[in-house]
């Protein structure tokens, strides 16, 4: 049995949908940002909180958990700046509680969702795992702190783990039964698609004076189903007995500017966006593009889906959004 904490969230629910094809799955989620309807019906759902030791003990006592995949975190950079307590409490302290209970029940396999925000404002064009980590906000710090905790637990207690640093997760499941649904929505692609559907008046481009070819920020967009596939390969490696204390970047290796993303949305959907240029958003690095060469050479993973596919799947989801 695999425990997926945060399995009702955007990325967690896409992972669960793939994982139930291979393993028995129990999802623990407090539904603070996730959706019950997003959890595949083949998974067992437990409503509970990661920071509550009793909830966790109940799950570990009830099910023979052999690995834990951890998606349950807050992930809004701006919110983390104004409310760092929430981020250190939910992302760091609650994870520590989870790791404590795992150690008590001798569960040694762990997969952790980390982020490109651990790199801060990188000095290189393409970021690999050796690039210096230097977060510039509490969200990035909270994820990097957990990475440090994992390294120490690995040495002291023999925890086997894989850290996956996501770049810009986007898209929706091919079936269009699940997709991205945040409230508030802050991410570029859903915001553009909502505008194209008439659910928003306009798209604001946050900054057009960056040191990039068209002046807008460049990001590496990765399909959420490709992310799910990477998690499954990492899990299979751990379950096969691989000793691991590894960190992998997950991206496409291709950078698209905000303007290019909007143009691609227009091309894929055939609808013209109402766009305005706006001020920079605090804390946005000009460019974040991943090298995923390490996970390709060690686990054989690479992104299969390009930006057009990401947008086409997200467009279908947004046109018929279920939750
Ligand atoms: N953007 C706009 N207008 C919008 C929304 C976004 O111009 O309405 C721009 C942003 O300024 C940024 C780009 O589009 O340049 C992408 O923004 P997103 O909010 O979609 O994604 P981020 O790159 O800011 O965030 C992602 C993850 C975070 C993570 C961060 C690391 O979603 O969890 O990368 O930097 F922390």
For the chain (length 323 residues), average pLDDT per consecutive 10? 98 98 98 98 97 97 98 96 97 98 98 98 97 97 98 98 98 96 96 98 98 98 98 98 95 97 98 98 94 98 98 97 94
User: What is the token pair recorded at 309?
Assistant: 């596919």
Q: Measured between alpha carbons, how far is 253 from 114 in angstroms, rounded to an integer? A: 17
Angle at the Cα of 234 from the Cα atoms of 233 and 236, rounded to 5 degrees: 65
Q: Measured between alpha carbons, how far is 285 from 115 in angstroms, rounded to an integer? A: 14
What kind and span of H or E run contains 60?
A: helix 53-62
User: What is the token pair recorded at 194?
Assistant: 């909502």
Phi/psi for 220 (5° steps) reads -110, 105
Q: Is 323 a catalytic residue?
A: no
Residue 283 has a pLDDT of: 86
Residue 20 has a pLDDT of: 98
* Whole-number Cα distances in Å, 265 to 191, 214, 274, 315: 11, 17, 12, 9
Assembly ipTM? 0.97
- Ligand 1: nearest atom to the Cα of 168: 26
Residue keyed to tokens 């553009």? 192
Pocket of ligand 1 (CB under 6 A): 75, 77, 115-117, 139, 168, 186-188, 191, 203-206, 217, 219, 258, 281, 284, 288
Is residue 316 helix, strand or coil? helix
SS (H, E, C) 119-152: HCCCCCCCECCCCCCCCCCHHHHHHHHHHHHHHH
CA–centroid distance, 24 to ligand 1, in Å, is 34
- Ligand 1: nearest atom to the Cα of 137: 36
Length of the chain: 323
Burial class of residue 125, CB neighbours in 10 A (0-12, 13-18, 19+) = exposed
pTM of the model: 0.98
Which of 87, 139, 166, 221 is flagged as catalytic?
139
């Amino acid at each position: 049995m695999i425990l997926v904490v945060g399995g009702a969230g955007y990325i967690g629910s896409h992972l669960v949908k793939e994982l139930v094809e291979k393993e028995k799955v129990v999802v623990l989620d407090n539904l603070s940002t996730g959706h019950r309807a997003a959890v595949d019906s083949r998974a067992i759902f437990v409503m509970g909180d990661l920071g509550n030791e009793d909830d966790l003990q109940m799950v570990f006592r009830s099910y023979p958990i052999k690995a834990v995949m951890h998606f349950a975190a807050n992930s809004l950079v701006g919110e983390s700046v104004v409310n760092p307590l929430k981020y250190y409490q939910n992302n760091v302290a609650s994870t520590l509680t989870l790791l404590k209970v795992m150690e008590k029940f001798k569960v040694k396999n762990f997969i952790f969702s980390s982020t490109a925000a651990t790199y801060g404002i990188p000095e290189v064009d393409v970021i690999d795992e050796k690039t210096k980590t230097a977060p510039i906000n509490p969200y990035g710090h909270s994820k990097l702190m957990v990475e440090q905790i994992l390294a120490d637990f690995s040495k002291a207690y023999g925890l086997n783990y894989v850290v996956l640093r996501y770049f810009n997760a986007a898209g929706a499941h091919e079936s269009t039964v699940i997709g991205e649904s945040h409230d508030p929505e802050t991410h570029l692609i859903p915001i553009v698609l909502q505008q194209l559907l008439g659910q928003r008046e306009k798209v604001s481009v946050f900054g057009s004076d960056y040191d990039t070819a068209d002046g807008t920020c460049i990001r590496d967009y990765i399909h959420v189903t490709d992310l799910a596939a990477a998690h499954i390969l990492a899990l299979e490696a751990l379950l096969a007995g691989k000793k691991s204390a590894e960190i992998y970047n997950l991206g496409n290796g291709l950078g698209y500017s905000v303007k290019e993303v909007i143009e691609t949305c227009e091309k894929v959907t055939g609808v013209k966006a109402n766009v305005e240029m706006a001020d920079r958003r605090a804390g946005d690095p000009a460019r974040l593009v991943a090298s995923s060469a390490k996970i390709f050479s060690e686990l054989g993973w690479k992104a299969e889906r390009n930006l057009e596919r990401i947008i086409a799947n997200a467009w279908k989801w947004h046109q018929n959004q279920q939750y």
